[in-house]
Amino acid sequence: MEIWNWYKSMKDDVYRYLKMQPGVDEDIDKKIEILLTKTDPGRTTYKVFDLIQDPLGIKDFEPFESESLKPILKYADRIILFAATLGVEFDRKVKQLQYHNQLEMMLLDAVGSAKVEALVDEMCEKIKTTLGGYQTPRFSPGYGDFDLAFQEKLLRLIDGHKIGLTVTNSFLLSPSKSITGVIGFSLKPMDVKYNICDDCLRRTTCDKTICRRVK
Amino acid sequence: MNFRTYLKNHVVLLDGAMGTQIQKQGLPLGAIPESIQLLQPDRLIQIHKDYVASGSKVVSTNTFGASPYKLKNKQDVKETIEKAIACARETGAYVALDLGPTGQMMEPIGPLTFDEAYESYKTQVLCGLDADLVLIETMSDLNEVRAAVLAVKENSDLPVIVSMTFQEDGRTLTGVTAESYVLTMEGLGVDGLGVNCSLGPDALMPIVKEITDLASVPVIVQANAGLPEVINGETVFQVSPTLYSQYAKAFVDMGVRIIGGCCGTGPEHIKAICEVINESYQEFTLKEPTLKVCSQRKTVDFNDFVIIGERINPTGNKKLKASLRAGDLNACIKEGIIQGDHGIHVLDVNVGLPDIDELDVMIHLVDTLSHVVDVPLQIDSSKSKVLEAGLRRFPGIGIINSVNGKEKSMEKIFPIAKKYGAFVICLTMDEEGIPHTYEKRVEIAEKIISSAESYGISREKLIIDTLVLTVSAQQKEVMDTIKAIERIHELGLKTTLGISNVSYGMPNRKLLTRTFMTLARAAGLSSAIMDPLDEDLKNTILATDVLLNLDPQGERYIHFVTEQETQIEKTEVSLYDMVLKGFKDQVKAWTIEQLNHLEPLKLVDEFLIPTLDEIGLKFEQKILFLPQLIRAAETIGVAFDVIKSQLESDTVSNRGSIIMATVKGDVHDIGKNLVKILLENYGFNVIDLGKDVEPEKIVESAIKHHVKLVGLSALMTTTVVSMEETIQLLKEKDPSIQVFVGGAVLTESYSKKIKADYYCKDAKASVEVAKRIFDQK
The pLDDT value recorded for residue B238 is 85
Q: Is B182 within 8 Å of B207 (Cβ atoms)?
A: no
Would you tell me which residues 154-193 of chain A have a C-beta closer than 8 angstroms to some C-beta of chain B?
Answer: 156-157, 161-164, 166, 168-172, 174-176
The torsion of the CA quartet B252, B256, B258, B262, rounded to 10 degrees, works out to -80
Question: CA gyration radius for chain A?
Answer: 18
Q: Number of residue pairs across A and B with CB atoms under 8 Å?
A: 152
What confidence tier does B232 reach under pLDDT thresholds 50, 70, 90?
low
Q: Which of B104, B140, B716 is nearest residue A164 as measured by Cβ atoms?
A: B140
pLDDT higher at B379 or B597: B379
Cα B372 from Cα B393, distance rounded (Å): 15
The verdict on a CB contact (< 8 Å) between B30 and A61 is yes
Indicate whether B704 pLDDT > 70.
yes
Indicate whether A95 pLDDT > 70.
yes
What confidence tier does A215 reach under pLDDT thresholds 50, 70, 90?
very low
Q: Is the peptide bond before B402 cis (omega within 30 degrees of 0)?
A: yes
Would you put residue B264 in left (φ > 0), alpha (ψ -120 to 50) or beta? left
Name which of B73, B168, B622, B667 to mutate to probe chain A: the one with the most chain A Cβ atoms within 10 A of its Cβ: B667
Q: E strand or H helix at B662, and its extent?
A: strand B657-662
User: CB-based contact (8 Å) between A214 and chain B?
Assistant: no
Indicate whether A1 pLDDT > 60.
no
The verdict on a CB contact (< 8 Å) between A172 and B667 is yes
How close B545 comes to chain A (CA, Å)?
Answer: 32
Using a CB-CB cut-off of 8 Å, the residues of chain A touching B668 are 176
Would you tell me which residues 38-67 of chain A have a C-beta closer than 8 angstroms to some C-beta of chain B?
Answer: 46-49, 58-62
Residue of A nearest to B171 (CA): A89
Residue pLDDT, tens place only, B387-434: 999 999 999 999 999 999 999 999 999 999 999 999 999 999 999 999
Using a CB-CB cut-off of 8 Å, the residues of chain B touching A22 are none
Residue pLDDT, tens place only, B192-203: 999 999 889 999
How close A91 comes to chain B (CA, Å)?
Answer: 7
If DSSP codes are grouped into helix, strand and coil, which group holds residue B630?
Answer: helix
C-alpha distances (whole Å) from B4 to each of B8, B9, B132, B467 are 6, 9, 9, 44
Cα B742 from Cα B80, distance rounded (Å): 45
Cα A152 from Cα B264, distance rounded (Å): 24
Name which of B295, B670, B672 to mutate to probe chain A: the one with the most chain A Cβ atoms within 10 A of its Cβ: B670
Percent of chain A's residues with pLDDT above 90: 67
Using a CB-CB cut-off of 8 Å, the residues of chain B touching A49 are 29, 233
Would you tell me which residues 616-645 of chain B have a C-beta closer than 8 angstroms to some C-beta of chain A?
Answer: 625-628, 630-631, 633-634
Would you tell me which residues 704-733 of chain B have a C-beta closer than 8 angstroms to some C-beta of chain A?
Answer: 716-719
Indicate whether A213 pLDDT > 70.
no
Residue pLDDT, tens place only, B8-51: 999 999 999 998 899 888 888 888 999 999 999 999 999 999 99
- Best CA proximity match to A108, nearest among A25, A17, A20: A17
How close A96 comes to chain B (CA, Å)?
Answer: 5
Indicate whether B6 pLDDT > 90.
yes
First CA to last CA distance, chain B = 80
- Per-residue three-class SS string for B10-35: CCEECCCCCHHHHHHCCCCCCCCHHH
Cα B16 from Cα B665, distance rounded (Å): 39
Percent of chain B's residues with pLDDT above 90: 75
- Residue B554 burial (C-beta neighbours within 10 Å; 0-12, 13-18, 19+): middle
| Cross-strand bridge partners of residue B400 | B379, B424
How close A26 comes to chain B (CA, Å)?
Answer: 10
The pLDDT value recorded for residue A214 is 45
Name which of A64, A77, A172 to mutate to probe chain B: the one with the most chain B Cβ atoms within 10 A of its Cβ: A172
Q: What amino acid is encoded at B390 in this protein? A: G
The verdict on a CB contact (< 8 Å) between B371 and A92 is yes
How close B548 comes to chain A (CA, Å)?
Answer: 37
Q: What is the pTM of this model?
A: 0.91
User: CB-based contact (8 Å) between B703 and chain A?
Assistant: no
Cα B643 from Cα B683, distance rounded (Å): 12
> According to the per-residue pLDDT averaged within each range, which of A182-191, B85-94, B548-557 is highest?
B85-94
Q: E strand or H helix at B740, and its extent?
A: strand B738-742
The pLDDT value recorded for residue B719 is 78
Q: What amino acid is encoded at A143 in this protein? A: Y
Residue of A nearest to B665 (CA): A170
Give mean pLDDT, residues B572-582: 89
The verdict on a CB contact (< 8 Å) between B232 and A48 is yes
Residue of B nearest to A204 (CA): B747
| Interface predicted TM-score of the whole assembly (ipTM), two decimals | 0.90
How close A174 comes to chain B (CA, Å)?
Answer: 6
Indicate whether A3 pLDDT > 90.
no
Q: E strand or H helix at B203, and its extent?
A: helix B201-214
User: CB-based contact (8 Å) between B31 and chain A?
Assistant: no
User: CB-based contact (8 Å) between A103 and chain B?
Assistant: yes
User: CB-based contact (8 Å) between B680 and chain A?
Assistant: no
The verdict on a CB contact (< 8 Å) between B173 and A164 is yes
Using a CB-CB cut-off of 8 Å, the residues of chain B touching A32 are none
The pLDDT value recorded for residue B3 is 97
The torsion of the CA quartet B339, B341, B343, B346, rounded to 10 degrees, works out to 50
Count of other CB atoms within 10 angstroms of residue B365: 23
- Phi, psi dihedral angles at B264 (to 5 degrees): 90, -10
Q: Which of B372, B630, B719 is nearest residue A102 as measured by Cβ atoms?
A: B630
Mean of all residue pLDDT scores within chain B: 92
Give mean pLDDT, residues A49-71: 92
- Per-residue three-class SS string for B480-519: HHHHHHHHHHHCCCEEEEEHHHHHCCCCCHHHHHHHHHHH
Cα angle value A165/B663/B681 (rounded, 5°): 105
